[in-house]
Amino acid sequence: EPWIEAVRDLRLNALRENAAKEAADKIARQHREKARLWNTSENRLHHRVDKVHCLTDFQYHYHRSINELIDSRADINDQLTKGVRKGKGKMTKKLQRFERELATFNIDYYSQWFPVKKYRRYKGETSDDAKELKRRPHKRTTHHHIDSHLNHDKSRDSIKHIKITHLPDLFVNSNEGGMPSSSH
């Protein structure tokens, strides 16, 4: 009967949706656990993992480069110690060149980056905490200070006016109340 098939289809669809939701929840839970393991927020997890992969790639690149220099120097040094007669002057110059290169060996970290890689976009990115500190949500406005005329960001209407409340007897003349006059 058609209504039995419709109920069966509804039940199967509900089971599929439940399975999909459980799979998504499992992935989200794993993502949260991985972020906790890396000691970062879920938003920055990708950034942290990419940075670690970048650093690892750079270390491999550095290792390969320095080992090529060391191996080349060792090969030439071995040939010179064995007493090769032909090309001894050239080999000595090569050995000196390798020694100079080893003494000044330096690879810039950003030199081996490829523009296709996605970690390129993370250069200079700040963390959530740093952004919050930079924004400074509890910072006072400076419009009520004496030198507020130097603050050209806001209009003069937004400057707070000093509210005069009860003045102590120190400022009150014996005959009149209020602020002392400037004629004294």
Crossing angle of helices 2-37 and 45-82, rounded to 10°: 50
**What is the tens place of the pLDDT at every residue in 64-104?**
988 988 898 888 888 888 877 777 788 888 888 888 888 88
- 64 within a domain of the structure (yes/no): yes
pTM of the model: 0.48
- 151 within a domain of the structure (yes/no): no
- 164 within a domain of the structure (yes/no): no
Count structural domains, the chain.
1
Full domain range(s) for residue 105: 2-135
- 59 within a domain of the structure (yes/no): yes
> What phi and psi, each to the nearest 5 degrees, are found at residue 98?
-65, -40
**What is the tens place of the pLDDT at every residue in 134-162?**
666 566 655 555 555 555 555 544 555 55
- 169 within a domain of the structure (yes/no): no
Report the distance separating Cα 162 and Cα 139, nearest Å: 20
From 8-17, 123-132, 169-178, the region with the lowest mean pLDDT: 169-178
Q: Does residue 48 carry a pLDDT above 80? A: yes
Measure CA of the first residue to CA of the last residue in the chain; give whole Å: 107
Percent of the chain with pLDDT over 90: 17
- 170 within a domain of the structure (yes/no): no
Q: Does residue 130 carry a pLDDT above 70? A: no
- 167 within a domain of the structure (yes/no): no
- 57 within a domain of the structure (yes/no): yes
Report, as an integer, the average pLDDT of 31-55: 87
